[in-house]
Amino acid sequence: MTARPISSAEPVTGPVAGAVAVPVAGPTDPHATVAELAGQLAGAARAGDPLDAFLYAAGMVQAAEDRLAGTWTAPRRLARHLRDRSGPPTAPPAGPPADPLGSALDGAVRLAVRTPVLHKAVRWTRDLADATDELAALVLDAAPLPSALYRRLFRLVERFDAAPVLRRTLGPAVRRPPSCFCSFDQYPADLAELARRFDAARPLPAGLPLLVVGVRTSGSYLGPLLAAALRRAGHRAVAGCTVRPGQAVLPGRERELARLLAAGGQALVVDDPPVTGRSLAEVAAGLCGRGFPVDAVSVLVAVEQEPPPLGPYRVVALARPDWEVDRLTSPGAVRALVRAAVPGAADWPRMEVGPARSPGRGLHRAVPVTGHPADGPPVPLRVETVGLGHLGRRAAEYAALLPGLVPEVRYLGNGLMIRQDIPAAAPVRALDAARYVAARQRALAVGDDRSVRLVGRGPVWEEAGRLFAPLFGRGAVVLRPLLADPMTRALTRAARPYVVDGRTGAERWAGRDGRWVKTDWAEGAFSHLDLAGYDPAWDLAGLAVAPPHQAGSADEDAGARYGATDEDAGARYGAEVRSGYERLTGERIDPARWCLARLVQVQAQRGVAERPPDRWERRRASARAVQEFLAEVYLRDLPAAPTGADGPGAGWCVLDLDGVLETDPLGFPASSPLGALALRALRAHGFRPLLATGRSLPEVQDRCRAYGLTGGVAEYGAVLHLPGRPPVPLADRDGSEVRAAAGELDGLVADPLARWTARVSRRHPDGRYTGLDRRTADRIAAATGTGVVRGEQQTDFLPPGVGKAAGVRALLAELGDPGAVPVFAAGDGPADRELLRWARLGTAPAHAAPEAKSVARVSSSRYQAGLAEAVATLLGHRPSTCPRCRPPRPSTESRALLALLALPEAGPPGLPARLLRLACRSGELAICGGGRRTG
């Protein structure tokens, strides 16, 4: 099963014209700079390849225009935030756009580009854009590169090389690969079809001016192709430009815009397949704000399903069945390609071609093919789309650098690849997966981590910063770029950068006879979700959040090896992947770096997984990442808690989760440094913490496993958890009746993790989840004979006789200590009242409900700060201030993430002090050079 290496002198090709040789001197970084692209453009021109020359030139224009427009400055982000607060731009403005700050920034850009320093860069970029338009016409016509255009391209490259101001201003700008030709399988022919459909839907005079507006990034490629298709259809006055949402159209070209408007010109907006259509609507509204009538603005897009609603704007759509890729992957076309491209396939008596399928939005489609030679075993192959030109050649290039680790590539051309197909007979072992990541890091090493330059373009570090934005409240638009983003950028910066795989989930491996190969090795290096990164923790975390047992694996040995439950198996598998990589490379992955990579991977699974995780799975997986981070930093050196009543102990302590040990401003429940330190102090001083919560049994199991706890009461006392033992239900019925009743009402959803109770929320159109109104809750409770506990995001329905105090009594009996009274309890809700009254010291944080406060000692602080204050009352000193409970000193990276997680632990009153601490930790991380962790 060893893949045949592809040498630089050996094309990845059969007899099909158009397949190309693949150099293997080193990997191509998909995030190339303008300076690098200039050399590659010259090479494509020298080779007479109009398609690659077009892709290189369009990428240079995109990167240069982004640099000149200053798209991702903090003031522009603030302007967009202020504009977003007024709602999405689904309707055209009646007059000039009500965005004074954005208009002022656009004015500053217009003034800046007239300065001598930038004027030269602007002129060069426009000349390059004109040449890109000519290349687009050649691509549509499949015409050779004429000598005049060849010389023009070389003059542009020579101008760039000879001008220090161009090299200094534009050279370092980074191209973002286009989703349209990297992920969505679009072809130039699709733009020709969109132009034809536009003409059919709206016949216009040939001389009427048209302005094609491409929404960057994909619009930098699609716009010139659409403009060329319109010119080929007979339109004589077609101009083009690109724009980011929120930017002015044609800045510095006001006279051209005025002439176009005076002549009654039309504007055509083009982008890659949309989801919500927000960017398209925003650009269309901006055009109306610049003077275009609503009926003069059209949106032309390919769509995978139905086009999104775009208000009053005319939409010309190309549905998925009409895409060019559907013709190229039809059974007849695939059969002809394989017979022509694979040696010997022309003589096969029979060939089976399976249906084309795509795992999800923006994921390449694949067609299984099985050839049946007359005198040999069947030949399993797979025809896959990989992207156009050099954007797709990366697949064969990387395969040549990873022999034996990926399937053999038989052919690559016209955006299609034929490769060996290997059935997935067994899940990949943790050490083998780690070995692949380590080998890839060596083989696909690049010079620097360019994700740090991709500000505003969704790299891994920026998505991590976005996850923490809710912690800053209304100040997030300012505080996140100042405090969170620099920290996450430093934490995720690679010490030894390489072209990451990006999609390492268990469903993307195949193996047999004890050997595995990676079946999807090139797509994830760039995704329509962006998520650029160069850090091996990103690839390793992909395995941790989607381990084999969660991918539908039938391997019984793996389950037996990694534990009795899926959760145990997943946690141990992720730990083995990480430790295996560390042993193989000598590179330590800091707990903070590991936590961030896992958090972002959980969100990324929505776009790249075979079965995207639902809201509850994402919340639980994210919560586990933070739990294990806090446990590794603060609890790893403590001895294991005893599993029964025997052994030393100062007494039982019972903790509530929501609002006490955890809060959920991040969109998932998480503790904080003070919460973890309070837990550590209790364990270090011999106390034995237990959990008593309304949360589901699986969530209690997660926390007991991560924090080393003896057991817990789940679902308000309806079921008990004791590690290593089956669950102990106490309720005489489950919550199925309530879930069925809720399922009959529109907008209500039930938490699938809760079994013995029912946790029901109302999902609003804007994506918010809230508890039920009193009338609906009472009606369901009356119909099902259940009790009600109301919360902000959910309403819980409990079987009769269920309660936390009763659950704790039963748990203590199961632990061999019947009749024991907890020495300490902390809770904040009405459901905790009986438990707080029963404990010797019942405590409640300052934000607790009146019912809890009436029977408890009330702390002066909220949330985890309140818990820490209560534990200090029990111990006689603050947690972590004595030698016995003082934790090991965390690393610089971990201290930074701890400061970020600490923001909500005391509520709004404690925020200023914690922001100051966060600023100090961020500065400390910058001084210490986060991300340099080798040896």
Q: ∠ CA(251), CA(105), CA(311), 5° rounding?
A: 70
Model pLDDT for residues 577-620, shown as the tens digit of each residue:
999 999 999 999 999 999 999 999 998 877 665 566 688 889 99
pLDDT of 11 over the 70 cut: no
Which of the pair, 21 or 717, is modelled with greater confidence?
717
pLDDT of 239 over the 60 cut: yes
What share of the chain in percent tops pLDDT 90? 65
The helix or strand, by DSSP H or E, that contains position 796, with its residue range, turns out to be strand 795-798
Is the Cα dihedral 132, 138, 140, 142 positive or negative? negative
Contact partners, residue 746, CB within 8 Å, separation at least 6: none
Average pLDDT over residues 245-261: 84
Residue located via tokens 């034995």 = 688
Asked if 675 and 862 count as a contact pair (C-beta separation under 8 A), the reply is no
Q: How confident is the model at residue 119 (pLDDT cuts 50, 70, 90)?
A: confident
Task: Describe the chain by its helix, strand, coil percentages, rounded to 5.
Answer: 45, 15, 40
Average pLDDT over residues 864-889: 95
Average pLDDT over residues 615-627: 93
301/621 Cα distance (integer angstroms): 35
What rounded mean pLDDT belongs to the chain?
86
Average pLDDT over residues 25-38: 87
Q: How confident is the model at residue 54 (pLDDT cuts 50, 70, 90)?
A: very high
pLDDT of 79 over the 60 cut: no
Please state the pTM of the whole predicted model.
0.88
Contact partners, residue 782, CB within 8 Å, separation at least 6: none
Which of the pair, 123 or 549, is modelled with greater confidence?
123
Q: How confident is the model at residue 14 (pLDDT cuts 50, 70, 90)?
A: very low
What is residue 640's predicted lDDT score, i.e. its pLDDT?
Answer: 79
What is residue 505's predicted lDDT score, i.e. its pLDDT?
Answer: 81
Asked if 372 and 352 count as a contact pair (C-beta separation under 8 A), the reply is yes
Burial class (CB in 10 A: 0-12, 13-18, 19+), 300: buried
Average pLDDT over residues 705-713: 95
Tokens matching residue 818? 């019947």
pLDDT of 682 over the 50 cut: yes
Which of 325, 327, 373 minimizes the C-alpha distance to 352? 373
> Coil, helix or strand for 77?
helix
278/282 Cα distance (integer angstroms): 6
Q: How confident is the model at residue 154 (pLDDT cuts 50, 70, 90)?
A: very high
Which of the pair, 100 or 341, is modelled with greater confidence?
341
What is residue 23's predicted lDDT score, i.e. its pLDDT?
Answer: 47
Q: How confident is the model at residue 362 (pLDDT cuts 50, 70, 90)?
A: low
> What is the 3-state secondary structure of 638-695?
CCCCCCCCCCCCCEEEEECCECCCEECCCCCCECCHHHHHHHHHHHHCCEEEEEECCC
664/653 Cα distance (integer angstroms): 23
480/461 Cα distance (integer angstroms): 12
Tokens matching residue 214? 């491409």
pLDDT of 690 over the 90 cut: yes
Tokens matching residue 514? 């004890």
Parallel/antiparallel/unpaired status of strands 728-729 and 719-721: antiparallel
Torsions phi, psi of 793, nearest 5? -105, -5
Q: How confident is the model at residue 560 (pLDDT cuts 50, 70, 90)?
A: very low
What is residue 614's predicted lDDT score, i.e. its pLDDT?
Answer: 82
Which of 591, 457, 435, 436 minimizes the C-alpha distance to 519? 436
What is residue 934's predicted lDDT score, i.e. its pLDDT?
Answer: 44
What is residue 608's predicted lDDT score, i.e. its pLDDT?
Answer: 60
What is residue 116's predicted lDDT score, i.e. its pLDDT?
Answer: 58
pLDDT of 15 over the 60 cut: no
pLDDT of 785 over the 60 cut: yes
Of the listed ranges 360-369, 783-792, 819-828, 906-915, the least confidently predicted one is 360-369
Asked if 40 and 29 count as a contact pair (C-beta separation under 8 A), the reply is no
pLDDT of 556 over the 50 cut: no
What is residue 507's predicted lDDT score, i.e. its pLDDT?
Answer: 77
907/473 Cα distance (integer angstroms): 11
Model pLDDT for residues 712-759, shown as the tens digit of each residue:
999 999 999 999 899 999 998 899 999 999 989 989 999 999 999 999
Asked if 175 and 59 count as a contact pair (C-beta separation under 8 A), the reply is yes
Model pLDDT for residues 461-510, shown as the tens digit of each residue:
999 999 999 999 888 888 998 999 999 999 999 999 999 998 888 778 88
750/435 Cα distance (integer angstroms): 41
What is residue 561's predicted lDDT score, i.e. its pLDDT?
Answer: 34
Most confident among 77-86, 317-326, 919-928 (mean pLDDT): 317-326
